[in-house]
Amino acid sequence: MYNALPDEILLQVEKPARYVGREVNMVKKNPSDVDIRFAFCFPDVYEVGMSHLGLQILYFFLNRREDTYCERVFAPWVDMEAKMREANIPLFALESQQPIKNFDFMGFTLQYEMSYTNVLNMLDLAGIPMFRKDRTEEDPLIICGGSCAYNGEPLADFVDIFYLGEGEVLYDDMLELYKQFKKEGKTKQEYLEALLKFDGLYMPQFYDVEYNEDGTIKSFEPNHPDAKRLIKKVVVTDMDSVFFPEKQLVPLIEVVHDRVTLELFRGCIRGCRFCQAGFIYRPVREKKACTVLENARKLMETSGHEEISLTSLSTSDFTEFEELACGLLDEFKDQQVSLSLPSLRIDNFSLDLMKKVQEVRKSSLTFAAEAGTQRLRNVINKNISEDDILNGCKLAFDGGWEKVKLYFMLGLPTETEEDLKGIAHLSEKIVEKYFEIPKDQRPRPVTVNASASCFVPKPFTPFQWDAQDTYEDFGRKALIVKDEIKRRQVRFTYHNTMMSSMEGVLARGDRRQSALLYRVWELGCRFDGWSDLFDFKKWQQAFEDTGLSIEFYANRERSYDEILPWDHISVGVNKSFLINEREKALAAETTPNCRQKCSGCGAASFGGGVCHEVQI
């Protein structure tokens, strides 16, 4: 097989297997036999991208089409980038090892704001003009999807299409139309204009923005007669019939999540007010347990993995959760296949299931407490009490676990010093629960790992109007927590505060940030989500050079009547609902989950899922 990289380069870089393809279950087609070439681009290193379920689904979904060849592209690590630039080797696809400049589409998945400079860098490595206005008919169309695409404005000057929603809905229609236009000799601009008839596609070139003197948006208007004033995301309504691959790509090196990944449902019933995913992926649409079990059988047959992971936003809310988990453990126990349970809600826990899981392979348990006091948990609508947390941990300890991971957040709206100290106190109370077990029954010393992320207000959440703390404030608050911890069994860590500040800037950014991103890329920023490569001084320089302000984007409260950069996008959840939820948050009032009572958020308009299983 031809390699785009000569052996002498591969032998000089870290993990050369990142760049050669040839994995188990890799799709092989003759590029000259297809009408459409689609590069699935993950703007991070191979090990991260190969762990992403969305890649696995769309890769096989697109490749099931005989007329389309979907190939993968990951961001080359810094050592490989240097070698490629030195030898003038353009960015290439793993499957064919051919330059992606000649492809029809470059499709980026945007999962994290701090990957944006990698998007620009991959375009540059490919020899493709970064700015949309500079590209020609010879260049690929640039399409972006994923959670960050719901506010793609910081990338607006670089991207042709933002795909809003689930890929299985529109890609077939989009590719059929592209193939037709290509055969008829029509231009890519004509193709983009034809796409305006679809929901779920936002193309920035068809909208104009004006700004007030204070920097806020004055108007956001369509400039094409077919451009929709409000663009509604697209969703799959029947999860049992939707495409799911019978194979998964099996990497030849260790990746972040090296296991079979099963999707149980999309959406979340909980409505945690800080969680963007909980709102943009509504409504909840489940698979039947028998469907998931059949998915598991096929994937285990074709992968050779020794671990199964259940992935969804709140896995234990799956209505057939225990039936499914026990069924998986029984099905694969003779093969010594373990079951990985993600962060669980402690109020929905099964000791029997815990015991079954640890019969194969024991691991630490992860619980998302989010806040240290009940008042603040009510503010964010966590709908879980301290007793739920402590009793759940006691169940875990009784079941033989001695390691617990706890997730918290710093800087949540209305947070006080008492809330911060509550993180330390709750962690220590969990340790005390362990010491309630008789000494001769404790397998080994207990460890409570409490980690705190820095709160980032996100679009389409009730907190989208709130100010984010400065990075200095985050650091000060982390020290309050750290100083309050007295027990050696509790370990406290927190996220990079300056990185979180930049995430906050980009999360609620507008299209003026395209200049900021270009400048920070020029200054050499890559892999900004990696703490050892993140360079805050370069970001500060880029703000100074472009005349933009960190404080304007991250550290100010918005009014309800301000035009937000994403107001032209509809995720189905009404703005009036989000405002009501924010007011309830300020009063520390909770909202029941979607199965207990429908709160009329607006997601029922999609015509499926949990909205139509409860009384509306």
Q: Kindly report whether the peptide bond that precedes residue 283 is cis, defined as omega within 30 degrees of 0.
A: yes
- List helix spans (H) across 129-166: none
Asked whether residue 49 is assigned to any structural domain, the reply reads yes
Report in angstroms the alpha-carbon separations of 387 from 108, 369, 392, 484, 560.
Answer: 43, 12, 8, 21, 36
Asked whether residue 446 is assigned to any structural domain, the reply reads yes
pLDDT single digits (tens) 166-188? 999 999 999 999 999 999 999 99
Residue 336 has pLDDT above 80, yes or no: no
CA distance 360 to 377: 34
Helix (H) or strand (E) holding 309: strand 307-311
Task: Single out the residue of 250, 251, 253, 258 nearest to residue 302, CA to CA.
Answer: 250
Average pLDDT over the chain reads 93
SS3 334: helix
Q: Examine the domain organization and report whether 574 and 433 are in the same domain.
A: yes
pLDDT single digits (tens) 133-150? 999 999 999 999 999 999
66-70, 399-403, 484-488: least confident range: 399-403
pLDDT band, residue 358 (cuts 50/70/90): low
pLDDT band, residue 558 (cuts 50/70/90): very high
CA distance 57 to 248: 8
Task: Single out the residue of 465, 435, 454 nearest to residue 582, CA to CA.
Answer: 465
Rounded mean pLDDT of 224-238?
A: 97
The pLDDT score that the predictor gives to residue 440 is 86
Q: Examine the domain organization and report whether 335 and 221 are in the same domain.
A: no
CA distance 208 to 210: 7
Helix (H) or strand (E) holding 54: helix 53-63
The pLDDT score that the predictor gives to residue 338 is 79
Tell me which residue has tokens 């506010």: 151
Task: Single out the residue of 188, 216, 218 nearest to residue 105, CA to CA.
Answer: 188
Tell me which residue has tokens 């490749």: 63
Rounded mean pLDDT of 522-529?
A: 98
pLDDT band, residue 359 (cuts 50/70/90): low
Q: What is the pTM of this model?
A: 0.95
pLDDT band, residue 616 (cuts 50/70/90): very low
Q: What residues contact 86, with CB distance under 8 A and at least 6 apart?
A: none
The pLDDT score that the predictor gives to residue 608 is 81
Residue count of the chain: 616
Asked whether residue 245 is assigned to any structural domain, the reply reads no
Do residues 447 and 401 make contact, with C-beta atoms less than 8 angstroms apart? no
pLDDT band, residue 574 (cuts 50/70/90): very high
Asked whether residue 251 is assigned to any structural domain, the reply reads no
Task: Single out the residue of 565, 458, 593 nearest to residue 220, CA to CA.
Answer: 565
The pLDDT score that the predictor gives to residue 325 is 84
The pLDDT score that the predictor gives to residue 601 is 96
Q: 360: exposed, middle or buried (C-beta count within 10 Å: 0-12, 13-18, 19+)?
A: middle
Q: What is the CATH number of the domain that holds 360?
A: 3.20.20.70
Range of the domain at 163: 7-232
Q: Examine the domain organization and report whether 180 and 325 are in the same domain.
A: no
Task: Single out the residue of 381, 465, 453, 456 nearest to residue 423, CA to CA.
Answer: 453
Q: Examine the domain organization and report whether 354 and 217 are in the same domain.
A: no
Rounded mean pLDDT of 594-614?
A: 87
Q: Examine the domain organization and report whether 175 and 273 are in the same domain.
A: no
pLDDT band, residue 354 (cuts 50/70/90): low
Residue 614 has pLDDT above 60, yes or no: no
CA 65, distance to chain mean position in Å, is: 26
Report in angstroms the alpha-carbon separations of 523 from 95, 337, 374, 515.
Answer: 32, 47, 45, 12
The pLDDT score that the predictor gives to residue 575 is 97
SS3 255: coil
Q: Examine the domain organization and report whether 496 and 593 are in the same domain.
A: yes
DSSP state of 23: -
Phi, psi for 369 (deg, rounded to 5): -80, -35
Asked whether residue 77 is assigned to any structural domain, the reply reads yes
pLDDT band, residue 344 (cuts 50/70/90): low
End position of a domain, from candidates 191, 212, 232: 232
End-to-end Cα spacing for the chain: 58
Q: Examine the domain organization and report whether 199 and 320 are in the same domain.
A: no
Q: Examine the domain organization and report whether 141 and 267 are in the same domain.
A: no
How does DSSP assign 272-329, residue by residue?
Answer: -TT-HHHHHTPSPEEPPHHHHHHHHHHHHHHH--SEEEEESTTGGGSTTHHHHHHHHH
362-366, 384-388, 575-579: least confident range: 362-366
SS3 314: coil
Look at the alpha carbons of 456, 494, 75, 342 in this order and tell me if their dihedral is positive or negative. negative
Rounded mean pLDDT of 76-86?
A: 98
Q: What residues contact 342, with CB distance under 8 A and at least 6 apart?
A: 309, 310, 311, 315, 366
Residue 60 has pLDDT above 90, yes or no: yes
Q: Examine the domain organization and report whether 206 and 295 are in the same domain.
A: no
- List helix spans (H) across 471-566: 471-484, 497-507, 513-522, 536-546, 550-554
Domain count, the chain: 2
Q: What residues contact 550, with CB distance under 8 A and at least 6 apart?
A: 501, 505, 540, 543
Residue 372 has pLDDT above 60, yes or no: yes
CA 101, distance to chain mean position in Å, is: 27
Q: How many CA atoms lie within 13 A of 280 on its CB side?
A: 23
Asked whether residue 69 is assigned to any structural domain, the reply reads yes
Do residues 234 and 170 make contact, with C-beta atoms less than 8 angstroms apart? yes
Asked whether residue 38 is assigned to any structural domain, the reply reads yes
Angle at 129 between CA 126 and CA 131, to 5 degrees: 135
Angle at 509 between CA 204 and CA 415, to 5 degrees: 150
Q: Examine the domain organization and report whether 429 and 295 are in the same domain.
A: yes
Rounded mean pLDDT of 370-397?
A: 91
Residue 322 has pLDDT above 60, yes or no: yes
Residue 348 has pLDDT above 60, yes or no: no
Better pLDDT: 482 or 342: 482
Q: What residues contact 304, with CB distance under 8 A and at least 6 apart?
A: 24, 250
| Token digits of residue 513 | 């940030």
Q: Examine the domain organization and report whether 223 and 266 are in the same domain.
A: no
Q: Examine the domain organization and report whether 309 and 192 are in the same domain.
A: no
Asked whether residue 608 is assigned to any structural domain, the reply reads no
Phi, psi for 106 (deg, rounded to 5): -115, 115
CA distance 406 to 392: 12
